[in-house]
Structure 1
Amino acid sequence: MALSNNTPDNIHDLIKEITKKLKMVNAEAIQSSDYSEDQYEDLKEIYEMVMKKQSFSPNEMQAIVEELGYLRK
């Protein structure tokens, strides 16, 4: 995945990988179409942080999902 490019496809990939890594039960609730290209850098930062960690506490997961919610258009 070439993360240097701010494209709708990359936004889709970022969201997909974040929800996969978090093992979200209701991953369909977070759609890549809910995010604009203006939020790309923020989404990329969240993605990089999520990919670095092996596991997440419930509070961390909630914080990540809340942050994704704030970034929605």
Structure 2
Amino acid sequence: MYRVYSAPAGAENISPLEKDRLLHRNLATMDEAIGWAAHMSRTGHAVVLIEGDDGTRLAAGEIASALRQRAG
């Protein structure tokens, strides 16, 4: 499972305490997580973190890079 954490537009890095208060969505695959991040970005939300049960951890900058690659 992957968790995609979103925040209001303009948010970037978050602390562990803030993470517990953020909205998140659970998704089965990384492809679904990146797709959800793209959707959230299009609707004006910031995706600040993607975490996977396998130890994957993408911060805001890495997510932005993945979204650019996906669009290209």
* Common fold: TM-score over 0.5: no
Q: Which has the higher strand share?
A: 2
Q: Which has the higher helix share?
A: 1
